[in-house]
Amino acid sequence: MLAHLPILQVIVPLMAAPACLLLRRPKLVWLFTLLASALAFIISILLLQQVMIAGTISYELGGWSPPWGIEYRVDKLNAFIAIIISGLSTLVLLASRTSIEKEISADKHTLFYILYLLSLTGMLGIVTTGDAFNVFVFLEISSLSAYSLIALGKDRRAIWSSFQYLIMGTIGATFILIAIGLMYQMTGTLNMADLATRLPEVAETRTVITAYAFFIVGVCLKLALFPLHLWLPNAYVYAPSIVTAFFAATSTKVAAYLLIRFTFSIFGLSFSFTTLPMGTLFLTLGLLGIFVASTVAIYQDNIKHVFAYSSVAQTGYMIVGFSMATTAGLSAMLLHMFNHALMAGALFLALAAVTYRVGATKISDFQGLGRQMPFTMAAIVIGGLSVIGVPLTAGFVSKWHLVVAAIGKDWWVVAGLLLLGSLLAVIYVWRIVETAYFNAPMTGKDSVEEAPMAFLFPIWILASANVYFGIDTRLSVETATAAAKGLFGVAP
Amino acid sequence: MNVSLETLVQLCILLPIFSTIGIVALRGNQNSREAVSVFASLVVFYSVVSIYLGVQSGETIAVHWLQILPGLSLSFSVEPLGMIFALVASFLWLVTIIYAIGYMRGHNEDNQTRFFCCFSIAIGSVMGVAFADNLLTLFIFYEVLTLSTYPLVTHSGTEAAKKAGRVYLGILLSTSIAFFLFAILGTWVIAGTLDFTQGGVFPADANTTLLGVILVLFIFGIGKAAIMPFHRWLPAAMVAPTPVSALLHAVAVVKAGVFTIMKVCTLIFGIDLLAILPTTQGLVYVAGATVLLASFIAMRQDNLKARLAYSTIGQLAYITIGALLASSLGVVGGSMHIAMHAFGKITLFFCAGAILVAAHKSKVSELDGLGKQMPITMVAFFIASLSIIGIPPAGGSWSKWYLLVGSIDTGQWTILVILLLSSLLNIAYLLPIPIRAFIFKESTTNGAVGIKEAPLPCLIAIGITTLGCIALFIYPDPLYDLASSILQTSSVAYGQ
C-alpha cells in the first residue's frame, strides 16, 4: 500500500469525482469530498515523511519502467507542495457546504464538488508526475475545472471573468505544450529526469531556447506574474467565495512549482541563469509586481480585489526569491509559498464568511464588523499582519529569510525594496481595520451576526497556523530548506 | 524566596499579557476588573524589584524560549540598562493604573475594557523590550508595543483620533519595517549574531562605511525615539486619553525607543566602534537639531498636551545624544535621563490630565490663576518642570549634568552649546505655566467658579511621581550605579 502512495495521491480525488454523481444527496457528497481531500492530505504527509527519510521516490506507472513508461517522481519539493495543496483544500472544504448554500443554486452543488475534486486532482497530478506531457494533461484537467468553478459565481460578471481566464489560461497551456513539444523534438523523451540528462547536449540550440521561452511565458500566465496577471483579480472576485479561497491558496503555488521544477531540474541552473538572463528578468518583474500590484491594491473598493492584487504582489516576492538562484533564495521562495497559502487561505475564507453574512465585500460593507463579527475580523487582522510581515506571524519569517538571502547576495538595494514593499501592505490592510473597528454599521446592516462555526473553525485553524508558523518555524523552514537543497543537488 | 529569577522575568512579561483574560472576564464589574490591573501591576513591580535585588547579589539570569529562526531564539536576560527601564516602567505602571482608574471614571470614557486590555499588553511588551537578550526579541516586542498601543491612541474613535492613529501607526510601523528591520537584517548578515554583547558584535574588519549606514538606519528606524523628521507620530498620539499619553508617551513607548537606541549603541556597536563610524557625528547633529527645533515648536504650542509632546521629543533627543557621544559619561547621562525624564514628564502629563478632568481646560492660555483652585497640581507641575529643565532640587539635574560633562569630555562644543541653550528654552516653555497659574490673575472670561482639585486617585498618583522627582535628586546613587555599570561588565553578571 505504502509503495503506491504516489499514484494514490492522484487517483483518490480522481476516482472520487465521478463517484459523487452516484451519491447525489448534497450533504453526502460534501462529506465524501471532504473525506477524499482529507485522504489526499494524509497521503501527502506520509509521502513527505517517506521522502525525508528515504529520499526521492520513483513510481513506475503500470510497471513500465522510465523513460518509456510514465514515472511519478516524488522528492522533497513536490511532497512539500502537495501538502500545501491538499491541506488547504481540506480546510477550505470544511466551510464549503455553508458557503455555497448562499452562492450556488442547490441543483449545482454536486457539480461543484465534482469540479472541485477534478481541480484538486489536476493540481496534485502536476505536482507528483515526473513526466512532462503528463504535466500538460493535468494542467488542462485543473484549468478546465477551474474555469467552470469560476463561472458558477452568482454575479453575472463571473462568466465574463471565467471567459477571460479561459482565454489567458488556454494561451498559457498551449505555450507550455509547445515548449514540451519542442523539447521532445530535440531529445526524444518526455520523462523529466531523462530530459534533464539529455537537454544539456543541445542546450545551445535555438530550439531549446525557444522552448524555454514558450514555457516561461506559459507558466507565468498561470502564475499570474506581473504583467501577465490581468485575468486573476476578476476571476478571484466574481468566483464563488469558496473557490477563491481554494485557488488563492493553491493554484499559483502549482504554477510556481512548475517554474521551479522546469528551471532547476530540467533546463538546469546554468542554462537559465547563465546562458539566459533569467535572473535579471525575474528580479525586475518580481519587484515591479510587488510595487505595482500593492499600489493598485490600495485603491480597490472591493476587499476581494484588494487581496487578489495582494496575492499578485506576494507572487512577486516569491519570484524575487527565485531570481536569486541560490539555495537561500529558493528556500525563502518555498517558505513564502507555504506561508502565503496560510495567509491567503485565512483571508479569503474570512472574506467568504463576510460574504455569507453581509452579502458583499466592499469596503463600506466592513463598517462596524469589528463588533458584529469579532472572530472573523480578528482573523482578517491576523492574516493582514501576516501579509505585512509583522513579527510573530508567518509572513515575517518568510520575509526575513528572503531579505537575508538578498543581503547574502549583496543585493542591498533589493533587500531595502522588499521591505519597502511591505509598507504598501500596511496601507491596504489598515484601511480595512479602521473601517471595521472604528465605524458604526451602516443603517440596515445592524443585525449582522458572527459567522457560523463551519466558517470559524477552518478560519481559525489557518489564522492560528499563521501565528504558529511565525513562532515555531522548524517544520516549515526545514522542509523548505531541504527541498531547496535537494534541487541544487540534482541541478547540473 | 524560592521563586527563581528566571520565573520572575517571564512573569513580568506574561502576567500583564495574560491579565487581559481576567480583565475581559470581569468586564461586567468595574471594580473587580480594575482590581485585576492593580494586582498585575503590583506583582510585576514586586517581581522587578526582586530581580533587581537578586541581580545585585550576583545572580545571573538567562531565559530561553523557542528558537524562531535558525540561530535566533526568543530569549531574555537582565543587564543594568534593561533593569533601569524595567524598574521605571513597572513602577510608573502601578502609579498610572491608579491614576487611570480615577481619570477614566471621572471622564466617563467608553470602551474601558479594551483600554485596560491594551494597556496591559503594552506593559507586557515593554517588559519584553527591557529584558530582551537579542535584537530579534527586542524587535518583536517593539512591534507588539506599536500594535497594542494603536487602539489606545484611537481610543475615542473620532475622525481626528483615526487620523492620528494613521500617523502613529504609519510612522512607527514603516520606520520599523523599512529601516529598523533592515538594519537588524544587515547586522545579522555581517555579524552573524544579534545577541547583545559587551563591546559590540561586529567583526573588527567590517566595512565602516556600511556599518555607518546601518547605524543611520538604526537611529531613524527606531521611530519611537522620535528623532526628526520621524517625530510626527508623537504629537499626533496626544489625542489619546491622558493616562495613555502619560505612561506610553512619556515612559513606555518613547523610552522603549531611546532604550533601544542606547542598547544598539552600547551593546551592538560598542562605543569604541561608534566613535570611529563616519556617520556618528552627523547623527549627533541631527539629534542636536531635534533638541532645538522641538523646543522652539514647544514654545509656540498653546495646547498643553501638544507642548508637552514636543518637549518630550526634545528630551528624547538628549538621550540619543548621550548614546551617540560614544563616551561612558554620555551613556551614564543618557541612561539616567531615561529615568529622570520619565518621572518628570509623567508628572506633567498627570497634571495636564488633572486640569482637564477638574477644570476642563486644555490650553496654556486658559490657566491663569488656576493655582488658587488647584494648588497641589500646580506645585507638582512646577517641581516636575524643574526636573525636565534640570535645576535642583529635581532629578533631571543629575542626568543633564552628566550629559554636559560627557559632551565636554568628547570635545563636542556645539552639542554643549545646544544643551545649554535648550535648557533655557525649556525654562521658556515650561515655567510660564505655573507662573500664569500662581501669579496671573484669573481672567474674567475664565468663569472658573467651583473648580476643585482632581479626583483623589489622580492626586495620589501625582504626589507619588513628584516625590519621585525629588527623591531621585537626593538619592540618585542606585540609578547612577546601574547606569555606570552598563559599560563595565558583561550583560549576564554585573552584580559581582
Length of chain B: 496
| pLDDT at site A219 | 92
Domain assignment of residue A250, yes or no: no
The per-type count for chain B, helices as H runs and strands as E runs, is: 22, 2
Q: What amino acid occupies position A86?
A: S
Residue A12, C-beta contacts closer than 8 angstroms, at least 6 positions apart: A36, A39, A40, A43
Nearest to A404 among B140, B177, B188 (CB): B188
- Beta strands, E only, B209-256: none
Taking CB atoms and an 8 Å limit, are A400 and B143 in contact across chains? no
Q: Look at residue A383 and tell me if it is in a domain.
A: yes
Instruction: Quote the strand ranges of B204-339, DSSP E.
Output: none
Cα of B147 to nearest chain A Cα, Å? 10
Residues 6+ positions from A161 with CB-CB distance below 8 Å:
A150, A153, A231, A234, A235, A237, A238, A239
pLDDT band at A1 (very low <50, low <70, confident <90, very high): low
Contacts of B162 in chain A (CB under 8 A): 434, 438
- pLDDT, tens digit, 9 for 90 and up, residues A47-74: 988 888 888 888 888 778 877 888 888 8
Question: Using one digit for the tens of pLDDT, what is the confidence trace for B212-245?
Answer: 898 999 999 998 888 888 888 888 888 888 888 8
Lowest mean pLDDT of A450-454, A461-465, B7-11, B490-494, name the range.
Answer: B490-494
Q: Could you give the CA distance from residue B104 to residue B93 in angstroms, rounded to a whole number?
A: 15
For residue A282, the Cα-to-chain-centroid distance in whole angstroms is: 18
User: Does A15 have pLDDT greater than 70?
Assistant: yes
Q: Are A176 and A137 in contact (CB under 8 A)?
A: no
Residue A55, domain member (yes or no): no
Residues in chain A: 492
Domain extent, residue A465, equals: 299-486
- Kind of pairing between the strands at A57-60 and A71-74: antiparallel
**What is the pLDDT, as a whole number, of residue B491?**
40
From chain A, pick out residues whose CB is under 8 angstroms from the CB of B110.
none
What is the band of B393 on the pLDDT scale with cuts at 50, 70, 90? Answer: confident
Interface touch B177/A419, C-beta < 8 Å: yes
Closest CA to A122 of A242, A251, A313, A314: A251
Q: Which residues in chain B have Cβ-Cβ distances shorter than 8 Å to A474? A: 67
Dist CA A202 CA A207 (whole Å) = 9
In a domain, A63, yes or no: no
- Would you state the torsion angle of the CA atoms of residues B438, B442, B448, B452, taken in this order, to the nearest 10 degrees? 10
Q: Is A68 on the interface with B (CB under 8 A)?
A: no
User: A33-37, A127-131, B433-437, B440-444 — which is least confidently predicted?
Assistant: B440-444
Please report how many Cα atoms fall inside a 13 Å half-sphere around the Cα of residue B133, on the Cβ side. 20
Contacts of B275 (CB under 8 A, 6+ apart): B326, B327
Torsion angle (degrees, nearest 10) of CA A439, A445, A447, A450: -70
C-beta neighbour count of B110 within 10 angstroms: 11
Q: Which of B168, B176, B185, B230 to mutate to test the interface with A (most CBs of A within 10 A)?
A: B185
A31 falls within a domain: no
Taking only residues 149 to 178 of chain B, the set having a beta carbon closer than 8 angstroms to any beta carbon of chain A reads 151, 154, 157, 161-162, 165-166, 169-170, 173-174, 177-178
Q: Where are the beta strands (DSSP E) in A62-185?
A: 71-74
DSSP B176: I
Residues 6+ apart with CB under 8 A from B29: none
B231: CB partners within 8 A, 6+ apart: B290, B294, B313
Q: Which residues pair with A74 in a beta bridge?
A: A57
Q: Does A417 touch chain B (CB under 8 A)?
A: no
- Asked if the structure places residue A268 within a domain, the reply is no
Q: A346, A282, A281: which is closest to A88 by C-alpha?
A: A346
Cβ proximity of B430 and B362 under 8 Å: no
pLDDT recorded at residue A37: 93
Nearest in space to B344 (alpha carbons), one of B398, B414, B268? B398
The reported pLDDT for the residue numbered A227 is: 86
Give the nearest chain B residue to A405 (CA atoms): B189
Residue A412 lies in a domain: yes
**Number of residue pairs across A and B with CB atoms under 8 Å?**
74
Q: Is residue A359 part of a domain?
A: yes
- When pLDDT is averaged across residues A351-373 and rounded to a whole number, the result is 86
Q: What does the pLDDT look like over A272-331, one tens digit per residue?
A: 888 888 888 999 999 999 999 999 999 998 999 999 999 999 999 999 999 988 888 999
Predicted-complex ipTM score: 0.82
Whether A404 sits inside 8 A of B185 (CB atoms) is: yes
How do strand B62-69 and strand B72-77 relate by DSSP bridges?
antiparallel
Contacting residues for A278 by C-beta, under 8 A, at least 6 apart: A216, A263, A272, A323
> How many domains would you assign to chain A?
1
| A86 close to A116: Cβ distance less than 8 angstroms | no
CB contact under 8 A, B177 and A426: yes
CB within 8 Å of chain B, chain A residues 93-112: none
Q: Which residues of A touch B193 (CB under 8 A)?
A: none
Please name the member of B69, B173, B182 whose beta carbon is closest to the beta carbon of A397.
B69
